[in-house]
């Protein structure tokens, strides 16, 4: 039987600009298997981060759409705790309404 060694290579250079998560982060809350998914875009796997894809080299970020209100459709800037849907991406306006 041969031994299988899985080497996790930490890659701080591709950390998410939204939350700082990368694969191998010493903080378990930020240790997500972020990696290249679409061309030069990485996918952020942090459920608490509104960033969907980002380009770590030019800093371009593609965020999710606000899901706080079904009719909103603004780009998400944060993630809110929803009583029913748990964590949902939300825009600044809805986040302000939700916390006021
Ligand atoms: Zn992120
Ligand atoms: Zn919104």
pLDDT, tens digit, 9 for 90 and up, residues 49-79:
999 999 998 989 999 999 999 899 999 999 9
Ligand minimally distant from the alpha carbon of residue 32: 1
Ligand 1 centroid vs 75 CA: distance in angstroms?
15
- Residue 4, pLDDT score: 81
Structure tokens at 40: 């030069």
Q: Which residue has the higher pLDDT, 24 or 83?
A: 24
Written as six digits, the tokens of 14 are: 């591709």
Distance 10 CA to ligand 2 centre (A): 34
- Asked if 42 and 56 touch (Cβ cutoff 8 Å), the reply is yes
Domain ranges for the chain: 1-63, 65-100
pLDDT category at 1 given cuts 50, 70, 90 is: low
In 1-100, beta strands by DSSP E: 35-38, 41-43, 51-54, 61-63, 78-82, 86-90
- pLDDT for position 20: 95
Cα–Cα nearest to 53, from 67, 33, 38: 38
Protein residues within 5 Å, CB atom, of ion ligand 1: 16, 18-19, 21, 44, 46, 49, 51
**Residue 85 pLDDT exceeds 80:** no
Measured from the alpha carbon of residue 93, the closest ligand is 2
Share of the chain above pLDDT 90, in %: 64
């Amino acid at each position: 039987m041969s031994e299988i060694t899985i080497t996790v290579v930490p890659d701080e250079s591709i950390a998410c600009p939204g939350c700082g998560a990368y694969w191998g982060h010493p903080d378990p809350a930020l240790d997500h298997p972020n990696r290249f998914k679409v061309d030069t875009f990485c996918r952020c796997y942090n459920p608490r981060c509104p960033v969907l894809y980002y380009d770590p080299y030019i800093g371009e970020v593609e965020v999710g759409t606000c899901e706080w209100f079904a009719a909103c459709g603004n780009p998400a800037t944060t993630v809110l705790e929803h009583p029913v849907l748990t964590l949902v991406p939300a825009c600044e306006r809805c986040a302000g309404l939700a916390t006021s």
